């Protein structure tokens, strides 16, 4: 059991540890920063069962707040915040959860991050640089040392928002947003689903829902006011959406097995809708210019 704290100018730090070989380091420089670390045993009634949890908190600036809660064994939760009025929360484990890893890095002012990890082997990373960005990761794996989920989030700019929610095992989500007022939502339920979202510009919006196993999705938007929605309900579906320009929209729905969709739009005010139901349908949409409309419907 180890805890270290550095304080200056009315900063507050609270560290509570129960178990064996837990470690917590807290460094705060500035005024009115607040850090709270709780490391618990993994089995109720057995305070020595929680082992080797590790949390490092570094806060530089004013009025930053950090909350780290760890239950189980060998969980790692690190927070680095530089600026003012940033807020970070990490909540790892439940009962005998093990080997979860969460990193939060925030630079700027009034950024907020929330990372929740349940059961085993989840990995989450949030990096935010700018002001008033919000990042959320909720990972719920299968218990008893099954494969966990992986989520990465990078936001550079102001007032960006991202929510990644993963339930199951071996799901992968990577969201990168550069600009202002972008929004991304990713929901994954099942096993071995993969989603990559890249948005560069302002006021872009992306929605991804994957329910099943072995689905793959890629969304890339460069410009302003673009919207992309991808829904995959089934197994082994593959979707790729690329939009370049302003005010383009793409909607892809894949219900069933082994569908393939590829959407490319370059220009402004283009709209594409792809609806696939059943098994093994293929669609390729390419639109270059302005104000084009495409509707594809494929059903068994």
Determine contact, residues 274/284, Cβ cutoff 8 Å. Answer: no
Q: Kindly state the percentage of the chain with pLDDT values over 90.
A: 75
Which of 14-23, 61-70, 75-84, 207-216 has the lowest average pLDDT? 14-23
Domain residues for the domain of 273 are: 62-299
Instruction: Indicate whether 113 belongs to any domain.
Output: yes
Residue 142: the pLDDT is 83
Q: Whose structure tokens read 């410009």?
A: 223
pTM (2 d.p.):
0.93
Instruction: Kindly tell me if the per-residue pLDDT of 224 is higher than 80.
Output: yes
Mean pLDDT for 121-139 is 98
Which of 74-83, 175-184, 200-209, 285-294 has the lowest average pLDDT? 74-83
User: CA 201: distance to chain centroid?
Assistant: 19
Instruction: Indicate whether 54 belongs to any domain.
Output: no
Instruction: Indicate whether 22 belongs to any domain.
Output: no
Mean pLDDT for 210-239 is 99
Mean pLDDT for 202-230 is 99
Instruction: Indicate whether 36 belongs to any domain.
Output: no
Which of 5-14, 98-107, 263-272, 289-298 has the lowest average pLDDT? 5-14
User: Which pLDDT band holds residue 48 (cuts at 50, 70, 90)?
Assistant: very low
Mean pLDDT for 98-118 is 96
Instruction: Indicate whether 39 belongs to any domain.
Output: no
Instruction: Indicate whether 264 belongs to any domain.
Output: yes
Count of structural domains within the chain: 1
Per residue, the 3-state secondary structure of 68-123, as one string, reads EEEECECCEEEEEEEEECCEEEEEECCCCCECCEEEEEEEEECCEEEEEEECCCCE
Instruction: Indicate whether 70 belongs to any domain.
Output: yes
User: Which pLDDT band holds residue 16 (cuts at 50, 70, 90)?
Assistant: confident
Instruction: Indicate whether 6 belongs to any domain.
Output: no
Spatial separation of the C-alpha atoms in residues 205 and 224, rounded to whole Å: 9
Residue 5: the pLDDT is 47
Nearest Cα to 251, choosing from 265, 267, 268, 266? 265
Instruction: Kindly tell me if the per-residue pLDDT of 179 is higher than 50.
Output: yes
Instruction: Kindly tell me if the per-residue pLDDT of 290 is higher than 90.
Output: yes
């Amino acid at each position: 059991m180890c805890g270290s704290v550095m304080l200056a100018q009315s900063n507050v730090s609270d560290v509570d540890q129960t178990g064996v070989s837990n470690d917590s380091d807290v460094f705060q420089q500035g005024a009115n920063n607040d850090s709270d670390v709780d490391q618990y045993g993994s089995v109720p009634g057995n305070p020595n069962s929680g082992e080797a949890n590790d949390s490092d908190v570094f806060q530089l600036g004013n009025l930053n707040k950090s909350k780290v809660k760890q239950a189980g064994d060998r969980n790692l939760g690190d927070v680095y915040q530089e600026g003012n009025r940033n807020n970070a929360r990490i909540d790892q484990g439940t009962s005998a959860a093990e080997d979860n890893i969460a990193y939060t890095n925030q630079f700027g002012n009034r950024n907020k991050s929330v990372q929740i990890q349940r059961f085993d082997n989840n990995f989450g990373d949030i990096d935010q640089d700018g002001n008033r960005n919000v990042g959320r990761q909720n990972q719920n794996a299968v218990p008893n040392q099954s494969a966990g989920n992986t989520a990465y989030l990078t936001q550079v700019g102001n007032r960006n928002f991202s929510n990644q929610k993963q339930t199951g095992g071996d799901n992968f989500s990577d969201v990168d947003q550069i600009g202002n007022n972008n929004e991304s939502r990713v929901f994954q339920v099942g096993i071995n689903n993969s989603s990559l979202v890249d948005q560069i510009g302002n006021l872009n919006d992306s929605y991804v829902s994957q329910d099943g196993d072995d689905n793959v999705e890629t969304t890339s938007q460069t410009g302003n006011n673009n919207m992309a929605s991808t829904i995959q309900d089934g197994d082994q579906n593959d979707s790729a959406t690329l939009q370049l320009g302003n005010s383009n929209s793409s909607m892809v729905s894949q219900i069933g097995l082994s569908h393939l969709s590829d959407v490319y739009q370059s220009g402004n005010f283009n709209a594409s809708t792809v609806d696939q139901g059943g098994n093994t349908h293929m669609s390729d949409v390419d639109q270059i210019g302005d104000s084009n409309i495409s509707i594809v419907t494929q059903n068994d």
